[in-house]
Chain A
């Protein structure tokens, strides 16, 4: 089925470890986004990519890096995980501007111990 695929779905890391969350969409969308969801905080934008070859910081970028590998793929990297990065991470995409909303991936639950 067409959509946004995130991997992995669950991950446990030790403090200081690194990992990359993968995201791919097959809808030929231009824009892609990474959000984190924490209880009582809603969804907060980490980074976004308005088009292939561009990335920009969102509301909470500290401790993260991103790569827009090609039009389909947008990865999120934690270089040195911290307990404060324990969260649910969502990747999303939109055709261009977000006027029609997003298509979301199914999320990654990350726990840093």
Chain B
């Protein structure tokens, strides 16, 4: 079974700083997909970024980017120029390519607090 580990239960940074959230995973597969989801206080789950394991290039979405290290099975999320609205729970998630019928496996989450 796949496992996803987020080692930082909570992080706090000042507004406008850059912050990196860590995620490691365990799999024997070579093709898979990784995700970061954001859950603000509203409780809604929002897809932030998606990475395909067979692509070398790190995914980016505006201020959000990932550092994907396939050999190390690491998938960290970098938030640049952090804003108060970035305060949320962040979940890392994983699914195998072609074997995702049973869906995503999630980490336990990191609570990110952006201080004014």
Contacts and interface: CB of A to CB of B under 8 A. Distances in A.
A99 B66 CA distance: 17
A19 B81 CA distance: 45
B91 interface: yes
A88 B43 contact: yes
A64 interface: no
Chain B's interface size range is: 20 to 34
B91 A50 contact: no
A88 B45 CA distance: 12
Contacts of A43: 91, 106
Contact of A42 (B47, B103, B108): B108
B108 A41 contact: yes
Interface stretch (A20-28, A68-76, A79-87, A100-108): A100-108
A68 to B, nearest CB: 14
Interface size class of A (residues with CB under 8 A): 20 to 34
B100 A42 contact: no
Contacts of B33: 98-101
A40 B9 CA distance: 8
Contacts of A48: 101-103
B68 interface: no
B91 A31 contact: no
Interface of B: 6, 9, 33, 35, 37, 43-45, 47, 50, 91, 93, 95, 97-109
Interface of A: 31, 33, 35, 40-45, 48, 50, 56, 58, 88, 90, 92, 94, 97-102, 104, 106-107, 109
Given A92-B45, A98-B33, 15 more contacts: A35-B106, A42-B91, A42-B108, A43-B106, A48-B101, A50-B101, A88-B43, A98-B104, A99-B33, A99-B97, A101-B33, A101-B35, A101-B37, A101-B93, A106-B43
